[in-house]
Amino acid sequence: MSEFRTPHGVHLGRRSLVRIVGAVGVAAVAGGALAACTSDERSDSGAATSGGESAPEPTIVTSVAADEQVPVDHLVRVEAQGGRLAAVTVTTAEGTEVPGEMLEDGLSWAATALLDPGTTYSLRASARGEGGGEATAEVSFSTVELSLDEQTYPSIAPLADEEVGVGMPVVVAFDLPVVDRASFERHMSVTSEPAQPGSWHWYDDHQVRWRPDTYWQPGTTVTVDVAVNGVPAGGGIYGQESRTVTFRVGRSVIHRVDAATHTMTTLIDGVEARRMPISAGKPGFETRSGVKVVMEKFRTKTMDAATTGISPDDPEYYNIEDVEYALRVTNSGEFLHAAPWSSGSQGVANVSHGCVGMATPDAAWVYENTRRGDVVEVTGTDRRMTLENGFGDWNATPEEYAAGSAL
């Protein structure tokens, strides 16, 4: 066996393998064999063949040795020589089993998941020989310890079982940097029912997102699998935990803001549900044109201009408490919200500092009919939205977005 290929396409060069030879009741023989190096010798014992020649006893070869400490990114492998594997299990002391697959019709077995740090495992394998003989092997080994400073943890949005809008990207954030982005991306997937093509896009070493080529289809069920436990992130850091999250896409809600005509039209499942007068950003504070996605909802929100970089001694400074029905759409401070103080300008002029303000009844309706991930499409200004400003993922073509993949 020159190499193993796992179901995930990971190629593993041949490591120094431990060879275990024996028939039924082989424990003592196996114990002695574990200390030996791999060789091409075969046992001379075995059942006689029809031609009078003795058939070799089966041999079990493992990629770990008794009492060995192995790195967490090691994929355990087992091979049968002179026979075929009957069963292989790798378990922790608590009984948690490492998943794996039989390959080559029983000639070999390969783990399909990496290992946890600082954990003791028991490997048990059995094989049947070509001449009827049997062999068993039992190996106890452990993995190296890793501190929290050597492990990066993935946080995933949306949350499990959350219902989101059609514009919601998948967001995976890591608390420690992922330098080897390609290594991690090979172990991450997004699947949906119905299936929709899309791509990962790395924003930096701490965050990667996935979006479909077009808005999600309403009613889609999405599963995010971040199987990075033990995967090298580079710089001596490894994935801390594998996580799987499933969420659902609700109905299509798209708010179309036209800053030039001072109106907002809401479409629900493609049908116009409400048209409202609004006031957008005034000159110097223009509302960004492009595609935005609702990030958060606040029944009331204090809006302090200092959070956008405006000093309290600036004539443009403001601090308004208890702003009602606020929907955040950018990191830079743009919201959709109730703005009763600008009622005389709504539908007529843009007077805000970048937010979209509307009458309180309209804002209440928008708030009640909007969830995280719903879309806000803005036109009518020369100030452009960017990918990095909130969930700005849709401000790129599918080809431009896919260029941010590490693969």
pLDDT in tens, 285-313: 999 999 999 999 999 999 888 888 888 98
Q: Looking at residues 207-223, what average pLDDT do you find?
A: 98
Q: Looking at residues 382-403, what average pLDDT do you find?
A: 97
Cis omega (within 30 of 0) on the bond before 158? yes
Q: Examine domains 3-143 and 148-249 and report if their fold is the same.
A: yes
Question: The pTM is what?
Answer: 0.82
Domain 3-143 belongs to what architecture? Sandwich (2.60)
Give 153-212 pLDDT, tens digit per residue: 999 999 999 999 999 999 999 999 999 999 999 999 999 999 999 999 999 999 999 999
**DSSP letters spanning 294-313:** --EEEEEEEEEGGGGT--TT
What does the pLDDT read at residue 54? Answer: 64
Domain ranges of the chain: 3-143, 148-249, 253-379
Task: Return d(Cα 329, Cα 360) in angstroms, integer.
Answer: 18
Greater confidence (208 vs 56) lies with 208
CATH class for domain 148-249? Answer: mainly beta
55 pLDDT band (50/70/90 cuts)?
low
Tokens 């907002």, located at residue: 264
Asked if 112 and 77 touch (Cβ cutoff 8 Å), the reply is: no
Catalytic residues: 337, 355
**CATH number given to 253-379:** 2.40.440.10
